[in-house]
Structure 1
Amino acid sequence: MTTWALVTGAPKRIGRAIATQLHEDDYNIVIHYGQSVNEAQALCDELNTKRADSAIIMQADLADATALDKLVAQIETRALSLEVLINNASCFYPTPIGKSSFTKAQQLLATNLIAPYMLAEKLCPQLSANNGCVINLLDIHGKRPLKDHGLYSISKAALEMATLSLAQELAPNIRVNGVSPGAILWPEQSNMESQQAVLGAIPLAKLGQPEDIAKLISHLVSAPYITGQVIAVDGGRSAVGFMGA
């Protein structure tokens, strides 16, 4: 039986690379999207061209509890044999002191922390039946805060603890790990000066690629004795400390 992988935030950037890699690994893919319906459908069509009926799209605003429940219900209704959950979807924007709000805090924490935790909990029966795994996309700024992005950094730090907690709570039938990207793709608001500052702090002196994340996830999905681990993919940046965006 072909098993399925749910990748949240799959249509673009790192999510697209992860979905494509897992599809190459012979998983069928549930492509979750929030607003990027055109990109989601394009990826779905591409994967289905490679292997018929191997991808579907599902929409949900992960900051909305009702939408989250509907996403889970769709998977249950379709009786998908779910083996892998990749919590990739994330909100990222600045919340400098004096300019943040309760609404922004709710959106960041709900999308980046609560939704991944609740998806792992709610999809536990399907994942457990397949001795599956959960992989949470973290951020090196969950350990060292990014200036003017306090709420984002807090949400990723909390998701790292959630990853370790879930690894304990969902064992022995479900493995849970975290992947912590560094400079993989530049934020849309970054400038040349900030980019050069980041590159200067990376021992490997180069930007990473989405495929670097996807290849590690491919390995973790197929590694039956690895759980409760957080692995940084940052060119050595976190090993020596870092500055910049």
Structure 2
Amino acid sequence: MIDTKARTKVALVTGAARRIGAAIADALHGDGWNVVVHAHTSIGAARELAESLNARRPDSAVAVAADLRDAAAIEPLAKAAHARWQRLDALVNNASSYHRTPLGAIGVAQIDELVASNLRAPLLLIQACAPLMGEGGAIVNIVDALLRRPMPGFAPYYAAKAGLASLTETLALELAPGIRVNGVAPGHMLWATGNEMSAAQQDAELARIPMQRLGGGEEIARAVRYLLSAEAAYVTGSILPVDGGLRLK
């Protein structure tokens, strides 16, 4: 008897409990992947998402908790992701901290947090996952479309994301030809949690985007699906902007 589970590809998606991460996990699952839904403080929501995916296709999703700011938690996360179905084919580094840090009020703890989640954790997780991936593995890092036109007041965040973009190209060389490494650079996709912008402020923000709308998590999920698919088998070291043209303004 053929073990169909062994043939089903497995993806680990970090920060996948809600918003863009959840959209990525859902899209990959819809394409037939088994999904490891990572979360930290939102592990309850991650378990709910895994349950809903398992209701569609039994034994196809699992939620795993880990604090990516803790370097010691990285390797156990990679091993747990591989152990669930005895294989690991893809890693999506989506988890990210993002908050305002104006110059003059930046503390070491803020720098450490933003660098840990946006640069150190993805690097260490790639290092831990790569040996567990077979030939044809793929990694997608979620960066930021505004790295060359950053907003003032977010220096540590943009510095860390710029490092992740550089890392994407460097590791594409180092892991070739067996594992591909690419990035997706979102623009303004969703209103911030607890958004308190007035209707006029929202209209002004939308006016900055040539496509005149927010992208939504599904747009990022489609880009990730492509980069992990066989259709992108010759694509590595690329960063795909999905921003409605925002970076051009």
The TM-score with structure 1 as length reference comes to 0.93
* Paired AA for residue 165 in structure 1: T
Q: Which of the numbers 224, 228, 238 marks the counterpart of 1:229?
A: 238
1:39-188 matches, within 5 Å, as 39-78=45-84, 80-127=86-133, 129-188=134-193
| Gap runs ≥5 in structure 2 | 1-6
Deviation, structure 1 residue 76: 4.6
Count of residue correspondences: 239
* Paired AA for residue 188 in structure 2: A
Range 166-175 or range 182-191, more displaced: 182-191
Task: Say yes or no: does 1:32 pair with 2:38.
Answer: yes
Q: Matches of 1:6 and 1:105 in 2, distance apart? A: 26
Residue by residue over 1:196-243, the C-alpha shift from the partner in whole angstroms, topping out at 9 and shown as x without a partner, is 33311211111111101111111111110111111111111112x2xx
Q: Matches of 2:17 and 2:31 in 1, distance apart? A: 18
Q: Matches of 1:194 and 1:232 in 2, distance apart? A: 24
Q: Matches of 1:176 and 1:118 in 2, distance apart? A: 14
The aligned counterpart of 2:4 is none
Q: Matches of 2:131 and 2:74 in 1, distance apart? A: 16
| Equivalent pair of 1:4/1:84 in contact (CA under 8 Å) | yes
Q: Matches of 2:141 and 2:213 in 1, distance apart? A: 24
The aligned counterpart of 1:210 is 217
* Paired AA for residue 21 in structure 2: G
Decide whether aligned partners of structure 1 residues 25 and 79 sit closer, same or farther in structure 2, where only a CA change above 3 A counts: closer
Range 4-13 or range 201-210, more displaced: 201-210
Q: Matches of 1:86 and 1:205 in 2, distance apart? A: 28
| Equivalent pair of 1:81/1:130 in contact (CA under 8 Å) | no
What SS does structure 1 have at the residue aligned with 2:235?
A: coil
Q: Matches of 2:119 and 2:93 in 1, distance apart? A: 10
Q: Matches of 1:187 and 1:100 in 2, distance apart? A: 21
The TM-score with structure 2 as length reference comes to 0.92
Q: Matches of 1:132 and 1:74 in 2, distance apart? A: 17
Q: Which of the numbers 206, 209, 227 marks the counterpart of 1:220?
A: 227
Identical columns (%): 41
Residue by residue over 1:161-209, the C-alpha shift from the partner in whole angstroms, topping out at 9 and shown as x without a partner, is 0111111111000001110000101223562355333311211111111
| Equivalent pair of 1:142/1:155 in contact (CA under 8 Å) | no
Decide whether aligned partners of structure 1 residues 49 and 78 sit closer, same or farther in structure 2, where only a CA change above 3 A counts: closer
Task: Say yes or no: does 1:238 pair with 2:244.
Answer: no
* Paired AA for residue 234 in structure 1: D
| Equivalent pair of 1:141/1:156 in contact (CA under 8 Å) | no
| Equivalent pair of 2:28/2:225 in contact (CA under 8 Å) | yes
Q: Matches of 1:214 and 1:95 in 2, distance apart? A: 28
| Gap runs ≥5 in structure 1 | none
What SS does structure 2 have at the residue aligned with 1:148?
A: coil
